[in-house]
Amino acid sequence: MKGGLNNPRVIDALPVNGNLNNGISSDWAFDHAADLDAHTLNPAEQVQTGAYNFFNYGTNNAQVLGADVLWGTIIWIPRALTVDRIVIDVTAGAAGKIAYVGIYNVGANLVPGSLLIDGGSISVAAVTVVAATVSQALTKGYYYVAVVSDGAPTIRSILYNAWSPLGYNPASFSGTYSGYTKAASGCVANAGLVDPFTAGSTAAIGVPKVLLRVASLD
């Protein structure tokens, strides 16, 4: 017997170089939680605050929104966090027109579902980056960032994502579906995003680039 009552010693809870002679303490998992986290780190969870983020990689493009055409672009949130801006980049303005932006939850089979937050209206009259101010906590998972206009401005978009949970166009495999769209959505008459996302929407390959700014990691 090593140690014994008359010769106590501290048990090393972590075997070193394959040495299994020392017993494992009951607190091993607790004591080494930090080591475990470091060894199982998910790089996607390392997100810079103050940055605009959460969009799949793909070909940069431009998209004419079309009046009352609701667009939802699927994004992946890798960890719990709070966002404080919903942002679009207007590349061709529409005088006197606005856009509504927001975030939808995913519904059955990853289609857009209930409205999580309506970010309100922003002007799309000028060629510039425009943002809606929000404060929304998000948990890990999929969401849809949404935009709809009462005019026909052109905004920055993305085409041919490198990967999407919505899969490929089955007719040609020409690109991945990255969101959903619906004409005559009812948002303009509603003066805001409808809840839930308008029924009858169709999958889309080219989708608007709607970014979120990270305020804090939660």
Q: Per-residue pLDDT tens for 76-95?
A: 999 999 999 999 999 999 99
Cβ atoms of 11 and 28 closer than 8 Å: no
CA quadruple 115, 121, 127, 130: dihedral, nearest 10: -70
Helices vs. strands in the chain: H and E counts, helices first: 3, 13
Residue 130 above 80 pLDDT?
yes
Residue 135 above 90 pLDDT?
yes
Alpha carbon distance 127, 149 (integer Å): 15
Q: b vs e for 3-32, b when ≥16 Cβ sit within 10 Å of the residue's Cβ?
A: eeeeeeeeeebeeeeeeeeeeeeeeeeeee
What integer pLDDT is reported at residue 60 of this predicted model?
Answer: 82
The residue that leads in pLDDT, 67 or 43, is: 67
Range 163-191 average pLDDT: 89
Residue from 115, 111, 134 nearest 192 by CA: 115
Residue 138 above 60 pLDDT?
yes
Cβ-Cβ contacts under 8 Å for 12 (sequence gap 6 or more) = 22
Alpha carbon distance 49, 216 (integer Å): 6
Range 111-133 average pLDDT: 97
What integer pLDDT is reported at residue 28 of this predicted model?
Answer: 47
Residue from 117, 120, 115, 114 nearest 136 by CA: 117
Peptide bond into 196 cis (omega under 30): yes
Residue 217 above 80 pLDDT?
yes
For 146, the token pair is: 């949404």
Q: Where are the domains of the chain?
A: 1-41, 49-217
Q: Which amino acid is at 158?
A: I
Residue 42 above 90 pLDDT?
no
Residue from 50, 62, 185, 39 nearest 112 by CA: 185
Whats the size of the chain, residue-wise?
A: 218
Alpha carbon distance 80, 68 (integer Å): 32
Alpha carbon distance 144, 129 (integer Å): 20
Range 88-110 average pLDDT: 97
Residue 137 above 80 pLDDT?
yes
**Which CATH architecture describes the domain 49-217?**
Sandwich (2.60)
Lowest-confidence region among 151-155, 183-187, 206-210: 206-210
| pTM recorded for the entire structure | 0.80
Average pLDDT, the chain: 85
What integer pLDDT is reported at residue 159 of this predicted model?
Answer: 81
